[in-house]
Amino acid sequence: MAEKCECPPEAGSETCEPTSARPSVACPACARPGKTVGALTLKAMLAHPLTELREVEYRFCRTPECSTVYYSADGEQQFLERDIREHVHNKHPDDDSVFVCYCFRHTPESIKKELATTGRSTVVAAITAGIQAGQCACDIRNPQGSCCLGNVRAVMDRAEAAGSARQDAENKLSFSPTT
């Protein structure tokens, strides 16, 4: 799951992947390494009194089947999806109604709809233009605290793969002998 999002620094590229300077700390629930997330992201996302936050590092767990969203690097605290103010795309990658881009409000459903009706997607260009215009705020809007482009590309890849599989099936049907 080390997808490169290729986002510019103003969209949080520095925080998109854990850096080697910060050793990864495994999620206490699923034992997979989490991604460093800034205190501001937790302040924006937590549906709890912010007095619960401590002066420790927090990590974001993006394992889909793990219910822990944030945990403290010292392992003492875990916050589940019900403890935060957004549905988390990383926990529901196949749920078409959960935002994948929180700044510009794109869902897998809206992306797939455009692909199905026009055969192409303008979503990456639209998000990139928004980032360049300084209109994104991934650190306070996206639960993962960083740019969504990697997730958006993954949604598009899955939609395109599903579309071409459907096309193959249709081609096979239309080429089948009619005798």
Residues at the interface with Zn ion (CB under 5 A): 27, 29-30, 61, 63, 66, 68
DSSP code for 101: B
Determine the Cα–Cα distance for residues 123 and 161; give it in Å rounded to an integer. Answer: 17
42-69 b/e (C-beta count within 10 Å ≥ 16 → b): bebbbeeeeeebeeeebbbbbbeebebb
Q: For Zn ion, which is the closer residue by CB, 59 or 141?
A: 59
- Whole-number minimum distance, CB 27 to Zn ion, in Å? 3
- Whole-number minimum distance, CB 89 to Zn ion, in Å? 15
Pairing status of strand 68-72 against strand 35-37: unpaired
Q: For Zn ion, which is the closer residue by CB, 30 or 39?
A: 30
Q: For Zn ion, which is the closer residue by CB, 29 or 39?
A: 29
Q: For residue 94, which amino acid is it?
A: D
Determine the Cα–Cα distance for residues 66 and 92; give it in Å rounded to an integer. Answer: 10
- Whole-number minimum distance, CB 59 to Zn ion, in Å? 9
Q: For Zn ion, which is the closer residue by CB, 11 or 25?
A: 25
- Whole-number minimum distance, CB 26 to Zn ion, in Å? 8
